[in-house]
Structure formats: structure tokens, C-alpha cells
A and B are shown apart, each in its own frame.
Chain A
């Protein structure tokens, strides 16, 4: 070896796994840089240490790396930068701002190019909150700046342990994020506070008072979710389904319609084109709740399928850490991860290169605990000042072959509070959203009283049984009453479970409207009809379906809405 033995250097390359003989001490999960001869610095993370050799996963392509190339260790864990200006950003898995990268590098990503994630020039309208002499703990508010419609809290850094007394504060004014806005002492040392802090992504932020049980429904405006398989603020849910079943379309709908403060979109190992839709459309779409643009409440973490795999693994942690940061400000967040299976596959690739003993389908044996740790970072918390913040996590799962028995789906099902099974059959039949009404479940409270919902659930089950039976005995062998049960359940499916995601009216079904329409549907379900024969019954329900579909396209509480409702009432009256 030509290398000087006193510096750390590469001893092996296997895909993005690089083995390094190190000189001094190394820390597990610390960041290092591999420096090939072309002058680039490739970011990497220590993932195993054996003897005097460390294994690094490199967040870039390792083409051109040679044995003997020098390596520099940083002693820093893989971290993100937290501060005002995160909202509206588009980051890769390592928090590099992609639009900024594009300005510097052009069409293609450039390896070894890293950019500071926040704007350091921009000034913010700072208002001090803590006064000299105040005693603060980690996460307590030092001051605030407005960030869009939110009050962004500048907090005592999460990593500072114990009590800190404020010794100095700056006056109100316009400052950039690196300005020292206060100083504090814990009796031993005095430290500066700026508007930013760093936090290691794999460690949860837990400087709050309490964790509470999630109860309040998170309104998604998707009827089948809010009414049948609800999600709570601070809860977790997953949407497994085979390819093309509608996971991404559903998540996009959630990102637009959900009634939360901030949405974090983690595009993890999926198509770049899907992120572009959000990127290009959100700046122009209005958020009806606030009148602002949707992008103002959104952060996009984008590490798509052809971007480096190790950074894909990191992107999940980056996303949830940003969510935790804003939760500490008393806000409600929704984290949409598409797809957690790609994250799991990144773990599998790494584990394979480390030649670890594999579990099922070659996933690492510790997959389950990593999945659980991720979802456990969701939750409803009470902050030091008594206010509430929440993170709700929705993970898309992409099971191999569409088979839910596989390890990632199973590990996820053990930890989530709601399971929205997307079905291939429903998608094929264009019954969107393809959430299967019999296979899915939720442990959270619906916006509609459970007594009412269970009537509908029972109908769906009964309708399905009749359907199965008809496959054996045929329509002619089915009693008309059973046949009407079947028609009612099909009706419920068509006009309530199915929803046109791409229609601005139908896709935005608020909770009041859901309760109202659901009551009308219950009227139909509970009505006894007297049809002379099955054809008549079928025709009646076809017409009824048509009027409900037309009703779904009428804006809530407009004249058109009321007129259509009157028409429906007449149809119901006539038939009984």
C-alpha cells in the first residue's frame, strides 16, 4: 500500500459500501467523507466497526473510488439543520435543497455537491419571548418569527440538558438565522442561541411534557377514510397495495385535503415524476382552509428511486425529524411516506453488503424493530407550555407481488392504528379509491357515530355474501330481498366509498357534508322497497345511483345541491 498508514484510507469497495482502515477513534453512525482522486468529497456514514476497519455506506455512487483513497471522519452524527425557512423547501434525503443544486449543477445531480439547507441571507422578523433571568429548558421558547401563517418558535436547543438562565437577549428586529438572538448559562458555561440548531436524524426529539392518546379525528375529506377507516391526529396508518392500486394518488389527495397545519411529503425511492407534480402544482393550488398556497404548508423530501440508495434510507429519518421539530411548536403534522418498502429495501441492500444473516426474503432480521421505531415517532404530545402538537404518519407499503404476507407489510401492521388495504380487484374495476371495505380496519374514532357506521358495514358484508352466493346459484336462484341487499351495498359502494379524486368538488368532502350525505344513505339502506322483480329493482338503483353521483358533484350547500337533494327525496318517497 502506498498510503501513509497514519491516515484513514479505503481498503475495499462493494457497491456503495466502502471499507476503511481508520487511524484514530470512530463513532457508530458518524459522518465521514471519502475523497477519491478526482477531488470530490463523498458523504458517507459509519454503519459498522470491526477491529481497525470501519464499514461506511456512501451516499453517492462509488464509481472511481480506489483502494487507498483517503477518508476524513467528522465526529458528527448524520444530522439535519433546523430553523425558520424549512417550509416550502424541496430537499433530497440528506437535506440538500434540490432547486439550489439545480442552479449550481444543471440538469443532473452532481456527486459530492452539498449545499446548506437554509437561506442564510434572508432576514426574519424576530420577537424575543424569554427575558433576561428567565430559566428555560430544552424546547422552551426563546423568541418567535412568523413563517408564513405560522408562529415559528425559536427554542432552547433540544440537546441542551438541564436548566439554562437567559443572560442576554437581542431586541425585536430583522435578523438572519445565524444571528445570536440570546445567550444562556447553566452555571458552568454560557452559550449562544441562534435561530438554528442541528439534530441527529436517527434520534427522536422527546423534549416535551407528555405523550397523549390520539383521539381527535384527522379529517382527510376522503369519505371512505373519515367515515369507515378513520385516522386520528397523532396516529399512524398504512396503505399497502400492489402496484397501480392507487397508493400515490391517495397520498397526493391526502397531502392536499387533510386538515392539518403542515404536510411533509417523503418521496422515498419512488418515481421522480410523481414529486414533480407536487413541486409544480402546489405553488399554484390554494389551501381553502387558509387561503394560502398549498406549498406554504409543505416540505418535500425527495429521494426518488434512481437517487443514491443510502440517502434513500436517510430520507425517512430526515422527514420525521423535520416533523418532530415543527411538532415542538404546537402544530399538527401529517407525514406521508411513499414508499416505506423502498426504505426497507435500502436497508436490505445494506444488510446484504454487510453479509449479515438475513431474515425472511433477505430483509435484515431487525427490520421489524426499525419499522416500529419509525412509526413510534408519530404521536400526540403535550409540550412544556401545555399546548398540543401531533405527528400523524401514513406509510405506503409496496408488497412484492401484492402479497400482504411479506415482511414489510407484516411488520407495519403490527404497529399502525389503521390499515387501508388497497385492492387490485377494486383498482382494476376502477372503484377508486381502491380501499377495500371488508379487509381494512381502524382503531380510531369515526366522524360518524359507530352505531350508524356499523349498519353500513353490515350491509357491505351482507351484500358481499349475496354476491358470492349469486356466483353459485345465479341471479334467478336469489330471492329478491337478498338481491336488493346486494343492490344496496353496490349503491353504497358507488356513491359513497367511491370518490372522484380528480374532481375538485367530489374530492373535497368535508366532515359536515359526509355526515349529511351519510344520513341520506342510511335512509336508503334502512328503507324497505317493494319491487315487483329484479329488473325493476336494478333500474331503480341505477337511477338512484345516478342522482347521488350528480349530487356528489354539486358544491356543498349551494342551490344546486339543495335541488338535487330534493330530487333524491322524491325518488325515495316514490319507491316506498
Chain B
């Protein structure tokens, strides 16, 4: 029998303090107010004072509101019954289905023992040359899309998810616009993928703190499917910047000293605890994490994209509806691109290098300088590169894209001008 407490001694931001004993760190509680019942989580203990973050917010909570401790941390009911279901940010059904009560597992569990990981080895094909050739996506990778607000990042996310060969898709929405939520649901439905999908959706109109649980719920479910059911799971998290802002809000309420633009000093560890759940097991399934990180003010040095970039295995920059070659990076590409085709790596490196030179020529041109022969070659190349490699409408297999790469080079340059080593030129240069 759990005790009920009525003595709330402090309400500040979305954190309340109650006098209670025998309460465990991270334990859940229910807070009842005239506004309804909200979940809350213990975030600090100080003698008999218990600090709780209230997920639905503190609005309407009074000093004599009822606090009932549940005796366990946040959990998710892990079973096949999750499939096809849609939940809110606190784990209750958003669809019309029943609440699940079987096989509860704790969320935010310990990290995978590094000794149990294997080197990722399976390429995930997307049909986008900018990804497949230049920034190859790999099963078990954790990778964010860095995007300015307004870019079609959710469309890109959905397209990769539909094209990727995975068993289960788990979508975690944080501050998701309702229309975007409907878009995801519709797209998954049209492709017949809804029955192998689980959604935890926190929408833009839900209380902001409630999105804090979304990544952990999604990833706990993913771990269940990967380890217990040997499934290849793809987790989509959008938008992680909202998650970070919720962390910031709680930290400020708790009067923590901010490290950088108001964000708490443990932002890196908090993000890493989530992203590092991406994993490939030797004897079980895998978890791949694709996330969206919108960049406030289009600034990649903003603490959220900055900390994210230091954690993830690369990033896709989405700018003007295109994946930018500079800054975009897949750090796992070298695990797979030696196996694809002999020319893959060399083509990748040299085409990008030449594109960088093209950018310089473009700059010179815009400053009114005379274009040398070399500049003109680069200008021709750059335009072809953008149309054939960068356009998100292009949808061709890797091998075709590589051939197109050689074709583009040969239309613009002599072999020596490309800097590709001679034996590859001999083999692949179009005659």
C-alpha cells in the first residue's frame, strides 16, 4: 500500500517539492490536481524533501494537491502488442487501443557492454547518391539530420525509413507538429508499414516536459525488439532540439549552473545516453537511430547540434532542400564502402574535393574575376554534380550512381586532373 502525500512545500517551474519518506530516486508519482492527473518523476532527494518534475506541468497544482508514489521508475510494457500502436509522450495510448500492462521493463536502462558490440557491416541503401556514395548509412548507425527550420526533414526521414530494409520502425516525436504526425502516419500506412511500427508521439501542443520521456520509451522498446526478438529496428527521433530544450527548462528550474546558452553541463551525457543505444549485436538484432536536430539560427555551433555532432556517427546537413556535401558525414562509411565496389572510395573522395574547388571558382566568378580554363571545367562539373548527385529527387541504386560519377568526371576532366590513382582510372574511366 503506497502512501499519499498532501504537503507540497514548493512549486517552481514544472518542479514541485513534497515532504515524504521512503521514496526512491527516479521513482514515478501521480500528482492529482483539479486539472487532472499527471505523472511526475523524482529528480532529487534532500533529507525528507522530494523534488519531482511534473510532466504535464505545474499549472493548477496547489499546495494540498495529492501526490501518490508508484514504487517504480518509468516503464514500458514490452511485447508484440506494441506493434501498430500509437502512444503519447508519457506512454499512454494516443490511438483507441487499450493500455498495455504486460511485461513491464524499465526505460533508460544501463548501456550495452562495449565488449558485446560488433563492427557494423551492413549498408542501408537509400537510393540517394548523396547518402549512398558519399555518406553511406550503415545498420546500427546513429545519425542526425541537421536542418534549418522549414526544410523537409521529416519527409527525408520518412523516405529513408520506407526505403531501408528493417524489421521494425519506432517513431519518437517530440514537439511534433500535428500535421507532421499525420503525415508520418499516412506515409507509413500507404506503404503498409504501420503494422510493424510503434509510435510515441508528443505533439507541439502537449506540455513541453512530457517530451523528455519520448527517446527513452522509444529506445527501451527498440532494445526489447532487438535483444528479445532479434529484430533490426530503426528508431526515428524528431526533433531532438525540443528534447534538449525541455532538459534546459528543468535544469534552470533546479537552479543548475548552465554551461552554454542556458543548457546544462550534462547535455552531452544526456544525449549520449540516448544515442549510444544504437547498436549491432552479434547474436541478436540491431538498433539504428536516425534523428532530426533543427539548428536554432542555422548555427551548427549552437550547443544542441554541437553536442550532437560530437556523439553521433556523422550527420546529414539539410540545406535548401539538399544534403550538403560539406559538413555531411557518415563515419561508418568506411566499414562498408570497401566492399561495395573498388572505385567507391576514390570516387567519393575526389568528387568531393573537386566540388570544393568548384565552390572556390564560383566565388571567384561572383567577384568578377576572369575564369581560367580550369575554372570553366570546374563550373561545368559543379553544375552536373548538383543535378546528378545532390538533387533529392534522384533515386538510383549505388552502382548506377557510381557509373554516373565517372561519366560526370569524364565529361569535364582528363584523368590526371581528377587525382584518382591510375589503376582505377584504367578500370573505370569511360572510353
Contacts and interface: CB of A to CB of B under 8 A. Distances in A.
Contacts of B326: 428
Nearest to B357: A429
B286 to A, nearest CB: 12
18 contacts: A67-B21, A67-B23, A98-B115, A242-B309, A273-B140, A304-B276, A306-B269, A309-B266, A309-B269, A400-B303, A401-B301, A402-B306, A429-B353, A475-B369, A475-B372, A475-B375, A534-B372, A538-B374
Interface string B341-382: 000010001001100100000011001011011110000000
Interface in A90-147: 90, 98-99, 101-102, 105-111
Interface hub of A99, A271, A355, A534 (most chain B Cβ within 10 A) = A271
Interface stretch (A172-180, A443-451, A546-554): A546-554
A550 B25 contact: no
A425 to B, nearest CB: 9
Interface stretch (A155-163, A181-189, A342-350): A342-350
Nearest to A357: B257
A181 B122 CA distance: 52
Contacts of B265: 345, 348-349, 352, 362
A414 interface: no
Interface string B21-35: 111111100000000
B26 A63 contact: yes
Interface string A423-453: 0000011100000000000000000000000
Q: Which of B284, B310, B327 has the most CB of A within 10 A?
A: B310
Interface string B44-66: 11111000000000000000000
Interface in B388-431: 416-417, 419, 421-422
B340 interface: no
Given A273-B117, A474-B369, A110 B110 contact: yes
B111 A307 contact: yes
A305 B268 contact: yes
B269 A107 contact: no
Given A305-B311, A306-B272, 12 more contacts: A12-B47, A62-B26, A64-B73, A66-B25, A102-B113, A106-B116, A272-B112, A273-B119, A280-B118, A309-B266, A352-B256, A538-B374
A276 interface: yes
Contact of B372 (A98, A535, A546): A535
A64 B22 contact: no
A568 interface: no
A66 B23 contact: yes
A465 B281 CA distance: 52
Interface residues of B, number: 81
B273 interface: yes
Contacts of B120: 273
B313 to A, nearest CB: 7
B98 interface: no
Interface centre among B115, B309, B310, B370 (most CB of A within 10 A): B115
A48 B120 CA distance: 43
A21 to B, nearest CB: 10
A550 B113 contact: no
Contacts of B23: 66-67
Contacts of A542: 416-417, 419
Contacts of A475: 364, 369-370, 372, 375
Interface string B311-323: 1011100000000
Given A108-B113, A430-B349, A306 B273 contact: yes
A512 interface: no
Given A243-B309, A545-B419, A277 B119 contact: yes
Given A243-B310, A305-B269, A430-B353, A549 B47 contact: no
B46 A14 contact: yes
Given A68-B22, A304-B276, A102 B116 contact: yes
B115 A64 contact: no
B119 A109 contact: no
B195 interface: no
Contacts of A549: 419, 421
A543 interface: yes
B419 A101 contact: no
A223 to B, nearest CB: 18
B114 interface: yes
A366 interface: no
Contact of B269 (A106, A345, A362): A345
A27 interface: no
Contact of A276 (B117, B284, B422): B117
B194 interface: no
Contact of A401 (B306, B349, B370): B306
A215 to B, nearest CB: 36
Nearest to A348: B265
A10 to B, nearest CB: 8
Contact of A550 (B44, B257, B349, B421): B421
Interface of B: 21-27, 44-48, 73, 106, 108-120, 140, 227, 256-260, 264-266, 268-269, 272-273, 275-277, 279, 281, 284, 301, 303, 306, 309-311, 313-315, 326-327, 329, 331-332, 334, 345, 349, 352-353, 356, 363-364, 367, 369-370, 372-375, 416-417, 419, 421-422
Nearest to A109: B110
Given A273-B120, A273-B313, A63 B24 contact: yes
Nearest to B27: A64
A474 B367 contact: yes
Nearest to A10: B45
Contacts of A550: 421-422
Given A67-B21, A243-B310, A400-B260, A430 B352 contact: yes
Interface size class of A (residues with CB under 8 A): 35 or more
B374 A109 contact: no
Interface in A507-544: 534-535, 538-539, 542-543
Contacts of B27: 64
Contacts of B227: 107
A66 B24 contact: yes
A1 B48 CA distance: 9
A309 B369 CA distance: 54
A297 to B, nearest CB: 19
A281 B335 CA distance: 12
Contact of A102 (B24, B108, B115): B115
A318 to B, nearest CB: 15
A196 interface: no
Contacts of A111: 110
A389 to B, nearest CB: 30
Interface in A352-411: 352, 355, 358, 361-363, 398, 400-403
Nearest to B46: A12
A88 interface: no
Interface string A1-40: 1100000000111110001000000000000000010000
B367 A98 contact: no
Contacts of A403: 301
Nearest to B332: A273
Nearest to B74: A63
A283 interface: no
Given A13-B44, A271-B313, A305-B268, A474 B422 contact: no
Contacts of A535: 372-374
A207 to B, nearest CB: 33
B252 to A, nearest CB: 13
B358 to A, nearest CB: 12
A275 interface: yes
A476 interface: yes
Contacts of A538: 374
Contacts of A11: 46-47
Contacts of A484: none
A421 interface: no
B329 A361 contact: no
A77 interface: no
Nearest to A501: B334
B115 A101 contact: yes
